[in-house]
Structure 1
Amino acid sequence: MSESPVAQKLALMQLSDSFFPSGSFTLSHGLEALVQEGQLRSAQDLQTFLRLLLRNKIGPTDIVALIHAYRGSAIADLAAVRHADAQLFAQTLIEKTRETARKSGRALLMVASTTWQDSQLTTLNLDAAKGEIHCLHPVVFAVVGRVALLSEQDTVLAFLHSFITGLLGAAIRLSVLGHLQAQQVLLQLAPDIEAAYQIAASLSLDQMWSCTPAIDIAQMQHQKLAHRLFAS
């Protein structure tokens, strides 16, 4: 089965658009706690925060799992998809992060299943109902990208674009920066997004790693905030 290049580009836009209802827009990944504690005050601080997430957390964990799940899905090997999901779950040490990744992944699976017809999506829904897969968001996104006939690279870029724009939207709501500054930051992060993909593509699941202690602490403190706009 194949689609025209235009159809594939439209699918790329659809998956990377915040209009696509996966629930990820409710997440701040520790940003809200850092802002409330006064540790993140400016657009420059935000850019550093996003670079750290890309280089030291999302890139070497979520993207590695996404890539291996995509490759498994591409050859109809759902055991490989389940393995990537289990490995990412084990690598994600913060309970709230695991919980939100599972919730947003299952929301994405529900939306995708009503948008595209594909046997793998049906099987993943059954696996989720039986508790045989966590359905973490990056893993589900990988399968959805394959279902939408995106390449591995385009699926990763759609995920990272959605991730970064979601956090920029959160930063706007938290009054860290304005819409114009957000566009500047997004453009400046393009090399980091590309590097995150290139590095992750060379790693095995056993080589996943992360090192963002300050951000991890902020994520753990989020649920104790007196006032919260975001789920994490």
Structure 2
Amino acid sequence: MAATDARQLLASLQFSDSAFPSGFYTMSHGLEGFSQARLVARGDVHGLLADLLVHSVGPGDATALAGAHRAATASDWDEVQEIDHRLFASKLNAEMRTASVRSGHQLADLAAEVLGGGGDAAGVTEYANRVKARTTPGCQPVATAVVYAACGVDTEAAVASDLFAFSVSFVGAALRLRLTDHRHAQVVLYEIGAVIEQVATDAVRRDVADIGGCAPVADIMSAQHERAEARLFAS
């Protein structure tokens, strides 16, 4: 493996790692709402995750990430900003919008520090400055796209890495909600790989004008979760 390829791989592993403090640990990505409504049981985690990837995350977040990655690679920051606004507008629930921008702001801020003041950080700094100036929302997938572009990770690898990070976070939430155990969680993550591969391929090919998933039950669960009396997760 070439040194450049190894560096890109390491970057994708670092920023998609569940230990990276981007705020994913605070999210269940709607799973807690399904659990509160008793619409998901211990054996349903894989199926629900696959449905969300195919019908919600893929057409929404992953498509925005792919488009923003291409734009960031070309240093087209107005296009990155336009995609950011489009993705933010496509999120129907307040808690999903809030969770996305909180994580995105954290990622953009920390990534600039991690990458240092060199050339790698220039694009991240440009985007972070726009977030701070409130000219762009700062959604997590767009922030991720900017970071991966700065690290030289190619578009499809960037999308697949973020989809896996989402899946790890989702399964981690399932563990905390006692919807799975540590052994079965690893089975779910391995088996979801085939879904991630197809969703990533579709997201890279999809036009940014088509950003936005269709998962009405997930939207309803999120809306109910916003008003829950007790919550373990932010989303």
Q: TM-score range by the shorter chain?
A: over 0.9
Structure 1 residue aligned with 2:53: 54
Distance 2:135 2:224 in 1: 30
Match of 2:148 among 142, 145, 151: 145
Structure 1 residue aligned with 2:220: 217
Structure 1 residue runs without a partner (length 5+): none
The residue identity in structure 2 corresponding to 1:33 is G
Higher mean displacement: 86-95 or 104-113 = 86-95
Match of 1:198 among 176, 201, 204: 201
What is the aligned length?
A: 230
Q: Is residue 2:78 matched to residue 1:79?
A: yes
TM-score normalized by the length of structure 2: 0.94
The residue identity in structure 2 corresponding to 1:159 is D
Higher mean displacement: 173-182 or 201-210 = 201-210
Matches within 5 A, 1:1-232: 4-43=4-43, 45-116=44-115, 117=117, 118-232=121-235
Distance 2:8 2:211 in 1: 30
Cα offset, 1:209, TM superposition: 3.2
Cα offset, 1:121, TM superposition: 1.7
CA contact (8 A) 2:30 2:218 kept: yes
CA contact (8 A) 2:127 2:146 kept: no
Q: Deviations over 1:168-206 (max 9, x none)?
A: 000000000101101111111111101111111121111
Higher mean displacement: 116-125 or 150-159 = 116-125
Q: Deviations over 1:85-135 (max 9, x none)?
A: 011112111121111111110000111011013222222222122210001
Distance 1:114 1:55 in 2: 34
The residue identity in structure 1 corresponding to 2:45 is L
Distance 2:3 2:80 in 1: 24
Cα offset, 1:228, TM superposition: 1.2
Distance 2:167 2:135 in 1: 30
Distance 2:66 2:6 in 1: 23
Distance 2:129 2:8 in 1: 27
Q: Deviations over 1:49-85 (max 9, x none)?
A: 1111110000001111101100001111111110110
The alignment partner of 2:205 has SS state of coil
Distance 2:225 2:53 in 1: 20
Cα offset, 1:222, TM superposition: 0.9
CA contact (8 A) 1:63 1:200 kept: yes
Cα offset, 1:3, TM superposition: 5.3
Q: 1:61–1:165: structure 2 CA closer, same or farther, 3 Å change rule? A: same
Identity of aligned residues (%): 32
TM-score normalized by the length of structure 1: 0.95
Structure 2 residue runs without a partner (length 5+): none
The residue identity in structure 1 corresponding to 2:175 is I
Higher mean displacement: 139-148 or 119-128 = 119-128
The alignment partner of 2:71 has SS state of helix
CA contact (8 A) 2:156 2:204 kept: no
